[in-house]
């Protein structure tokens, strides 16, 4: 049975129904029900094909529910973030560990600490503990291996 026939049958059975009620009952649009009531024929609906299931996302764009692996890596790969930040330090400068922690892991100090402890051998040439102020313990600083070696040599002499 075509949509037009369904509308006509519904109107004959229920002549007192409103256009909206006939539309709801038959699955037709209000304009189609009104056209049948005026005696006009209704055109066939053009089927619109569904979009392909493949989603192409340009870098930096997001689609609802999808995130790029770049965001995951940037958020959770603290080791790579530490190495990137240390590489960006100017040659003759040292970066305070608290600043490095904020730059690489934000407020998650435990994630930073665990990363440093788990990669102690790799990070050893990149960090040094210095007492530059009146503190009793000193603070950790990060920098290039040459700068760290020079700071160690000066500290230990």
The CATH code of the domain that includes 90 is 1.10.10
CB atoms within 10 A of CB 72: 10
User: Domains in the chain: how many in total?
Assistant: 2
Same domain? 74 vs 119: yes
Q: What domain range includes position 14?
A: 3-37
- Residue 3's pLDDT is 86
- Residue 14's pLDDT is 93
What is the rounded CA–CA span in Å between residue 86 and residue 78? 12
What is the rounded CA–CA span in Å between residue 59 and residue 129? 40
Same domain? 27 vs 76: no
Residue 46 inside a domain? The answer is no
Residue 61 inside a domain? The answer is no
Same domain? 74 vs 146: yes
Report, as ranges of residue numbers, the positions in the chain whose pLDDT lies below 50. Answer: none
């Amino acid at each position: 049975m075509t949509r037009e026939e369904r509308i006509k049958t519904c109107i004959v059975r229920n002549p007192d129904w409103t256009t909206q009620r006939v539309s709801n009952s038959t699955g037709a649009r209000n304009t189609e029900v009104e056209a049948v009531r005026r005696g006009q024929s209704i055109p066939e609906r053009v089927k619109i094909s569904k979009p392909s299931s493949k989603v192409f996302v340009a870098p930096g764009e997001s689609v609802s529910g999808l995130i790029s692996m770049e965001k995951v890596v940037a958020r959770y790969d603290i080791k790579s973030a530490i190495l990137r930040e240390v590489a960006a330090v100017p040659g003759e400068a040292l970066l305070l560990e608290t600043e490095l922690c904020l730059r690489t892991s934000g407020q998650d100090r435990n994630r930073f600490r665990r990363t440093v402890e788990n990669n102690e051998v790799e990070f050893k040439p990149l960090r040094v503990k210095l007492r530059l102020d009146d503190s009793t313990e000193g603070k950790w600083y990060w920098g290039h291996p040459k700068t760290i070696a020079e700071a160690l040599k000066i500290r230990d002499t």
